[in-house]
Amino acid sequence: MKIYGVIMAGGGGTRFWPLSRQERPKQLLNLSGKEVMVNETIDRLARTANKDDIFIVTNKTQAAAMKEVTRGRIQENHILAEPSARNTAACIGYAAMEILKKYGDGIMVITPSDAFIKNVEEFTRVLSVAVKEAENSDKLVTVGITPTFPSTGYGYIKYDVKDAGDAKKVEEFKEKPDLATAKEYVASGSYAWNSGMFIWKASVILKNFERFLPEIYADIVKIGNAMQKPEEQDVINEVYPQIKSISIDYGIMEQSEDVMVVPGEFGWNDVGSFDMLKVMHEEDADGNVVVGDCITIDTTNSVVYSSKKLVTTLGLDNVVVVETADSIMVCSKDRVQDVKKIVDQLKADNRKEYL
């Protein structure tokens, strides 16, 4: 059966400010020093699906930058621009309908655009297991990450460890836990992190929309009926913003009894803030990640990122310094999750040029 790649790339994300902006979010950044994240995601998916069968769902604001960045890698008309962000259920329903109507049924391999994966070989193997499962069973398949520490920052998937197959029956989705609970999860050996990657037939997920999210399904059908007709874009513009905003996890995965998980270990990281750059870059002998033109003296455990100007540090520990074309951000590494506070201040000051 044909395999389609679907990359969800609508996220904004302020945690990488000042690198990330409204029109240049995380997935359009080159954080690895090699390629922008969405292109790394495309190249990774291209081991599972043909490049010509890879789609990106993004939003109006980012669509132009997305087309420019991915030019030559995927087909321009495979970049779907949501008129407004309506969460993952709408995004996936729209992509499923687009594929089914215009290209025919097939396996959708859906991934976020901004995760970092170290071991691409193993990742591809895990996907192939998931694809086989989705093809043979009409089930909803997800990839779970075997936890390497008791993270309180990810959701968890409890699965049946006695299931003999490579894909395991999912018993329950769990919200981000507290530390004690996370430790129990990890110790039990029957939990995986929720990666937000989904593998299923386009026809199967649409049937699940019909059953669990009938309102959204009706809206998706309206859009589907207009596809390849002159009114297609008008209908999308009219219907899409009114679609109920709900995540695919809440809306379908947690409702269905037919969910399988393929647990995997391939150096996955949901790159969310500057301290994660450590995963993508070699640390120096002092535990620093240094990117660009920098001089670091007596500096330890820090992230020093220069886009253009010379950045120098002296006598720092545990600090993040980021220099971009128009601004500099200096932050305690313990506070990187709060960079949005700076963005909030810029919004309050109406300094749109920095958003």
- Binding residue for a second copy, selected from 63, 328, 352, 355, defined by CB under 8 A: 328
| Site track for a second copy across 24-63, x = CB under 8 A | ----------------------------------------
The sign of the torsion formed by the CA atoms of 326, 330, 334, 338 equals negative
CB of 347 to a second copy, least distance (A): 12
355 sits near a second copy (criterion: CB under 8 A): no
| Site track for a second copy across 239-278, x = CB under 8 A | ----------------------------------------
CB of 14 to a second copy, least distance (A): 12
- Binding residue for a second copy, selected from 345, 347, 352, 355, defined by CB under 8 A: 345
- Binding residue for a second copy, selected from 227, 272, 354, 355, defined by CB under 8 A: 354
* Of 250 and 354, CB closest to a second copy: 354
CB of 250 to a second copy, least distance (A): 32
213 sits near a second copy (criterion: CB under 8 A): no
1 sits near a second copy (criterion: CB under 8 A): no
Element (H, E) at 262: strand 259-264
The answer to whether the CB of 158 falls within 8 A of the CB of 170 is yes
Long-range CB contacts (within 8 A, 24+) of 85-88: 85/10, 85/59, 85/245, 86/240, 86/241, 86/243, 86/244, 86/245, 87/245, 87/246, 87/247, 88/8, 88/196, 88/247, 88/248, 88/249
Q: Which of residues 278-297 bind a second copy (CB under 8 A)?
A: 295, 297
Q: How far apart are CA 42 and CA 326, in angstroms?
A: 29
Q: How far apart are CA 125 and CA 59, in angstroms?
A: 31
- Binding residue for a second copy, selected from 67, 286, 315, 347, defined by CB under 8 A: 315
Residue of 56, 57, 89, 87 lying closest to 73 (CA atoms)? 56
| For residue 241, cis peptide bond before it (omega within 30 degrees of 0) | no
Residue of 140, 67, 149 lying closest to 108 (CA atoms)? 140
Amino acid at 26: K
CB of 21 to a second copy, least distance (A): 13
339 sits near a second copy (criterion: CB under 8 A): yes
Give the range of 102-110, 115-123, 152-160, 319-327 binding a second copy by CB under 8 A: 319-327
The answer to whether the CB of 264 falls within 8 A of the CB of 145 is yes
Q: How many residues bind a second copy (CB under 8 A)?
A: 34
DSSP string, 107-154: EEEEEESS-EES-HHHHHHHHHHHHHHHHHH--EEEEEEPPSS--SSS
- Binding residue for a second copy, selected from 11, 342, 347, 355, defined by CB under 8 A: 342
Give the range of 25-33, 47-55, 98-106, 309-317 binding a second copy by CB under 8 A: 309-317
Give the range of 39-47, 49-57, 135-143, 315-323 binding a second copy by CB under 8 A: 315-323
Amino acid at 81: A
Judged by the rule CB under 8 A, the positions of this chain that interact with a second copy are 18, 295, 297-298, 306, 309-316, 319, 321, 323, 326-332, 334-335, 338-339, 341-342, 345-346, 349, 351, 354
